[in-house]
């Protein structure tokens, strides 16, 4: 149970980070482009955290939170060997790089194949067609493999909780009191060694390094508090009794005016201004006027504007309607 919870801990931090950045940039429009790099910012922070906890505690950030540590399984099946530098590098790769790549691939697939823009042609590139065909199966196999390992681990058929642990030859165990005491002894010895060093800049570097290390040590408390605060604000904003219901609804804006040379507005409310026939498959232009979908699609594709107001628009700004009782 703890292993499942720790595997969900880091991904749950990303929505909180996105919310914090959006709130911080509400009145700073020049900083909006930063949101395009939310994945890089998030996984950069994850890299710093994971590197710190692997270096000092032989565990990931979330594993350390639950009092777990990674140990190497030797060739004869015995457990207990500490992590070496290569093990920590591989751990960083699977903790940071692999999730980052998967996030980017998921977004690419969703943008181009799950929710494509209206009117966009099917992929013509053979590589894109292959990706569209294969990627869902790759994701299904990826997730099914993790699920299978978790089931086998739960019933003691394997000592590896996930396939990455199997590839690296790791397993996890609970930290014991001797483990904690050993970490404290190492930290104390490092502080004593740094105190023996002389020179202003060396002392300044050691001071800044100590502050940074202590901040990372307390990052669990900081991040958990942030998540709690984020969830509290999310609940607060969704709770009906805290929402203002007595505010007056502003009047609708006046309809846009017909441009000189624009198509006339039909007298019949259910007629299309382009074909002057009863609308079929109604859709709305950016100006708010309603047309037949085929008529408006063809017109916008050729002219890049609203037929009545000449307001600039693109194909993806056409909105389909499912109630033709709109004038």
Residues 148-191 pLDDT 10s: 999 999 888 988 989 999 998 888 888 888 877 777 777 766 66
* Burial letters 256-290, b for 16+ CB under 10 A, else e: bebeeebbeebeeeebbbbeeeebeebbbbbbbbb
**Average pLDDT of the segment spanning 237-249:** 58
Query: What are the pLDDT digits (tens) for 120-155?
Result: 566 667 888 899 899 999 999 999 999 999 999 988
List the domains of the chain with CATH numbers: 2-202+209-237 (no CATH), 260-327 (3.30.40.10)
pLDDT at site 164? 92
More confident residue, 221 or 285: 285
pLDDT, tens digit, 9 for 90 and up, residues 290-307: 999 999 999 999 999 999
Has residue 327 got a pLDDT over 50?
A: no
Q: pLDDT at residue 226 above 60? A: yes
pLDDT band at 248 (very low <50, low <70, confident <90, very high): low
Instruction: Say yes or no to pLDDT of 193 above 70.
Output: no
Report which of residues 114 and 213 the model is more confident about.
114
Half-sphere exposure of 65 (CA within 13 A, CB side): 22
Q: How confident is the model at residue 20 (pLDDT cuts 50, 70, 90)?
A: confident
Q: At 246, is the pLDDT very low, low, confident or very high (cuts 50, 70, 90)?
A: low
According to DSSP, the β-strands at 170-174 and 282-284 are unpaired
pLDDT of residue 11: 84
Minimum mean pLDDT among 10-19, 52-61, 180-189: which range?
A: 180-189
Query: Where are the alpha helices (H) located in 93-199, listed in sequence order?
Result: 98-109, 126-154, 163-168, 177-196
Type and span of the H or E element at 302? helix 293-303
């Amino acid at each position: 149970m703890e292993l499942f919870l720790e595997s969900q801990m880091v991904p749950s931090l990303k929505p909180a980070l996105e919310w914090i950045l959006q709130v911080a940039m509400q009145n700073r429009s020049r900083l909006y482009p930063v949101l395009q790099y939310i994945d890089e910012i998030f996984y950069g922070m994850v890299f710093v955290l994971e590197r710190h906890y692997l270096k000092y505690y032989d565990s990931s950030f979330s594993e350390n939170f639950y009092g777990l540590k990674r140990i190497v399984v030797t060739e004869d099946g015995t457990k207990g060997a500490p992590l070496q530098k290569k093990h920590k590098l591989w751990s960083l790769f699977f903790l940071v790089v692999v999730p980052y790549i998967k996030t980017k691939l998921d977004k690419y697939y969703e943008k181009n194949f799950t929710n494509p823009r209206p009117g966009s042609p099917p992929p013509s590139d053979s590589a894109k067609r292959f990706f569209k065909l294969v990627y869902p199966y790759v994701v299904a196999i990826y997730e099914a493999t993790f699920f299978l390992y978790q089931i086998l681990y739960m019933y003691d058929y394997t000592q590896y909780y996930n396939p990455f642990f199997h590839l690296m030859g790791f397993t996890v165990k609970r930290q014991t009191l001797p483990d904690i005491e050993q970490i404290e002894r190492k930290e104390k010895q490092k502080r004593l060694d740094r105190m023996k060093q002389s020179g202003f800049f060396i002392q300044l570097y050691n001071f800044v390094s100590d502050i940074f290390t202590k901040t990372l040590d307390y990052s669990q408390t900081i991040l958990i508090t942030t998540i709690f605060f984020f969830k509290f604000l999310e609940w607060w904003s969704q709770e009906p009794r805290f929402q203002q219901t007595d505010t007056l609804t502003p009047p609708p804006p006046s309809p846009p005016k017909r441009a000189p040379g624009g198509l006339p507005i039909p007298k019949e409310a259910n007629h299309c201004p382009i074909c002057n026939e009863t609308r079929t498959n109604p859709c709305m232009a950016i100006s708010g006027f309603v047309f037949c979908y085929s008529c408006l699609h063809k017109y916008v594709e050729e002219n890049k504007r609203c037929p009545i107001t000449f307001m600039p628009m693109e194909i993806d700004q056409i909105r389909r309607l499912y109630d033709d009782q709109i004038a």
